[in-house]
Amino acid sequence: MRSKTKQKMAKKEAKKLEYFTDWKYAPSPEATDHIRLQKQYELFINGKFVKPNSGKYFDTINPATEEKISSIAEANDKDVDTAVKAARGAYDKTWSKMPAKERAKYIYRIARLIQERARELSVIETMDGGKSIRESRDIDVPLAANHFFYYAGWADKLEYAFPNRHPKSLGVAGQVIPWNFPLLMAAWKIAPALATGNTVVLKPAETTSLTALKLAEIIQESGLPDGVVNIITGHGPVGASMVNHKDINKIAFTGSTNVGKWIQKAIAGTDKKLTLELGGKAANIIFEDAPINQAVEGIVNGIFFNQGHVCCAGSRLFVQESVADEVIRKLKDRLETLIVGDPLDKNTDIGAINSKMQLNKINEYLKIGVNDGAEMYQSSCSIPKKGFFVRPTLFLNTSQSHRISQEEIFGPVLAVQTFRTIEEVIEKANNIPYGLSAGVWTDKGSRIFNMTSKLRAGVVWANTYNKFDPTSPFGGYKESGFGREGGLHGLMPYLKF
Ligand code: NAI
Ligand code: MG
């Protein structure tokens, strides 16, 4: 009798769950009729949009539809040289001579203009890169504006930031950025460089040039003196040409570890300064006393939102054995409710993978995980036929030696391991070539402090994940790179003392 009642209750529960998982939101697409895009984009050099010396253009596509959006100019060595000369001229003639409080006004104005055009920028970011509109609207664009606001404030206070050290600008900064946070990375690079009195040549990633070019329009509108910021587009060789240019004083790079290592070799023996923000394979650690429901949400936020295209993504999950069943069950349930699809839809949790190349890489890792013997679990959601999409994926029963536990996948793929003791989890979490970030979930403050001092990672989040603020420095240990961006620390790589 009792077991019958139990069965009945279980059936009822299952029905309830079915009801929740079957329940669909009505489409809620963000309007695109308000954005202004050109068919073709030129290089932004010395305050003007100019044709590339090569005469060549390449397509930028929308990864959710595979349709072309615009043609983008492909710079060559000559264009790089013209841009560096423009930056040098602006540095010598205007920017280095301008009182710092005047410089601050321009930076502030750029921040305001980003805010004014936030809606347009978010939509373009989502169309060009595939990330959900929720992410670009609520995270990328506001944080980009905040970065400019924050560094505008430092411009005339450098003597207070570094008392008695007489900080001086370096000259021309060459900056190369990736495709996962296109506008935000441009802000992370440009704002501190300007605040410290340097001029800039920036190259966005080839799949996501559009918001950087919109930023060029904003910079033009802000009245920033010509040549202070130059934005040139193209593929890897354009970045390499900047790295090798003799008249650049500093290189700031965010991207893959391989390219980062190449850059470090290329500038060895020169007096160029360098900061590298490279890959990651963060451990997100759940202790048995953690608030489990919040932790599950933190895991999802850490790896599945933004398609796992985050260098600090919590791509390795460590769960204490006593709560592993509960956490994994809840995680699987949550995976079922994640909405994968049209990035412009306001309900979408997981948008499109940025490029065909990245999609192939992720699918390759899914095969590797299965072949290495890990247990794959995917959400049962359907994915659009066109465009580049992946279902959110868990790999259960993984071990340290699995490639999916060691290598950066950069997709919505989570490798799960369990642990028993603190010593064990610290050793496992640190036993990796990377050290960009980590997460700790526990009720105990003392345990948080113990973990933050022992985890070899630049950022450790406690009872939260993937939270950013312009006042807080960000950067890595080991193969995740060196140098810090954000906060007062973020000024240092652009100064000499
Ligand atoms: P990538 O490192 O090739 O691209 C990043 C930027 O560097 C782009 O603007 C690219 O044009 C430029 N670049 C390429 N070769 C260069 C060179 N020799 N010199 C100077 N600049 C150069 O990254 P990719 O190929 O787009 O992605 C490959 C993998 O890298 C991803 O699957 C992911 O694992 C990782 N990645 C990590 C990022 C992070 O934020 N840490 C961002 C993007 C990718
Ligand atoms: Mg694109």
Model pTM above 0.85: yes
Q: How far does residue 124's CA lie from ligand 2's centre (Å)?
A: 10
pLDDT at 21: 55
Q: Which of 311, 312, 381, 479 is catalytic?
A: 311
Same domain, 185 and 218: yes
Q: Are residues 105 and 151 in the same domain?
A: yes
Q: How far is the CA of 101 from the centre of ligand 1 (A)?
A: 35
Ligand 2 center from residue 175 Cα (angstroms):
20
> How many domains, the chain?
2
| Residue 142 domain-assigned (yes or no) | yes
Kindly report the protein residue whose alpha carbon is nearest to atom 10 of ligand 1: 236
Residues with CB under 5 A from ligand 2 (ion): 60, 128, 207
User: Do 295 and 259 fall into the same domain?
Assistant: no
CA 235 to ligand 1: nearest atom:
11
SS3 at position 395: strand
277: annotated active-site residue: yes
Interatomic CA distance for residues 450 and 464, integer angstroms: 17
Is residue 32 domain-resident?
no
> 426 CA distance to ligand 1 centroid (A)?
29
How would you classify the pairing of strands 495-496 and 199-203? unpaired
Q: Do residues 274 and 289 both lie within one domain?
A: no
* Residue 16 is assigned to a structural domain of this protein: no
For residue 448, the domain's CATH number is 3.40.309.10
274 lies in the same domain as 286: no
| Residues 169 and 139 occupy one common structural domain | yes
- My answer on whether 350 and 442 are in the same domain is yes
Separation CA 411–CA 360 (nearest Å): 11
What range does the domain containing 344 cover?
280-462
CA atoms within 13 A of residue 349's CA, in its CB half-sphere: 22
At 175 the pLDDT is 98
Q: Write phi, then psi, for 376 (nearest 5 degrees).
A: -90, 135
Query: How many helices (H) and strands (E) in the chain?
Result: 17, 22
Give me the residues of the chain with pLDDT under 50, please.
1
The predicted pLDDT at position 17 comes to 59
Give domain status of residue 14, yes or no.
no
In a shared domain, residues 267 and 343: no
CATH of the domain at 267: 3.40.605.10
Please give the pLDDT value at position 497: 96
CA 65, 71, 75 angle in degrees (round to 5)?
A: 130
Q: What does the pLDDT look like over 142-182, one tens digit per residue? A: 999 999 999 999 999 999 999 999 999 999 999 999 999 99
**257: in domain:** yes
Ligand 1 midpoint to CA 258 (Å): 8
CA–CA gap between residue 3 and residue 199 (Å, rounded): 74
Q: How far apart are CA 343 and CA 314, in angstroms?
A: 22
In a domain, 239, yes or no: yes
Q: Give the per-residue pLDDT at 11.
A: 74
Using CB distances shorter than 6 Å, the residues near ligand 1 are 176-180, 203, 205-206, 235-236, 239-240, 243, 254-256, 259, 262-263, 278-279, 311, 358, 361, 408, 410
239 shares its domain with 213 = yes
For residue 107, the Cα-to-chain-centroid distance in whole angstroms is 22
Q: What is the pLDDT of residue 1?
A: 47
| pLDDT tens figures, 66-101 | 999 999 999 999 999 999 999 999 999 999 999 999
Give the sign of the dihedral formed by CA 410, CA 204, CA 191, CA 175. Answer: positive
Pocket test for ligand 1, best of 232, 259, 366 (most atoms within 8 A of CB): 259
Judge if 211 and 273 occupy the same domain: yes
For residue 474, being part of any structural domain is answered with no
Catalytic residue among 125, 277, 479, 485: 277
Domain assignment of residue 327, yes or no: yes
**Separation of alpha carbons 190 and 202, rounded Å:** 8
Ligand with smallest separation from the Cα of 436: 1
Task: Tell me if residue 311 is catalytic.
Answer: yes
* CA 281-283-286 angle, 5° bins: 160
Pair (449, 361) in one structural domain: yes
- Do 175 and 262 lie in a common domain? yes
